[in-house]
Amino acid sequence: MRALLALSRGIDAVTRVVGQAAAWLILVAVLVSAGNAVIRKAFNMSSNSWLELQWYLFGAVFMLCAAWALQRNAHVRIDVVTAHLRARTRAWIDLICHVLFLAPFVLLMTWLSWPFFMRSLASGESSSNAGGLILWPAKGLVLLGFIVLIVQTVSEIIKRVAHLTGHLPMPAADTGHTGGAAAADGEIAHNA
């Protein structure tokens, strides 16, 4: 279990770096949007590529931050129900849902995203809009996002098993979406 927890810590570190870096793309998207608006109003000029770049940046944030959100326990949940359950019961629910629902879904999406990306890359697919951008980078981000998410799912499964087998202490009761994740990060680092 020690080796699996070390693997989980490594995955968590990579996910954190990818998520934090991708979060900065929100600022880039805002700057692109503002710049596009200023150029359009001040110089009566515009380009579809600016609009498409905003969509690409939003898609990159969404796809690349999904695994980080999973790691930080920030995805939408039914806390009204699970908040009243014991930590061990919540760990079991997370483990079962990760294994039966999340992992198969993300594996399927990764498998389907590969040919989606490869066809676009091989054909040099570009937007049908005048002045639009090439599409394969955006489709590559979909694939990359699902790859990072499946790897983080493995880390989450390892942590839930470690909680249930006593190799990690149960996380403290969540007072908010990220409270438990911060505690869990500290537990893994502390019990290394």
pTM to 2 decimal places:
0.81
Q: Which of 77, 69, 79 is nearest to 175 (CA)?
A: 79
Q: How far apart are CA 107 and CA 98, in angstroms?
A: 12
- pLDDT tens sequence across 124-176: 988 888 877 888 999 999 999 999 999 999 999 999 999 999 888 888 765 44
Burial pattern 4-22, b for ≥16 Cβ within 10 A else e, equals: bbeebbebbeebbebbeeb
Residue 131 region by backbone torsions, left for phi larger than 0, else alpha for psi between -120 and 50, else beta: left
Query: What is the predicted pLDDT for the residue at 173?
Result: 62
Instruction: Let me know how many helices (H) and strands (E) the chain has, helices first.
Output: 8, 0
- pLDDT tens sequence across 28-46: 999 999 998 898 888 888 7
| Residue 33 exposed, middle or buried by CB count within 10 Å (0-12, 13-18, 19+) | middle
**CA Rg, the chain, in Å?**
20
pLDDT for 191 beyond 60 = no
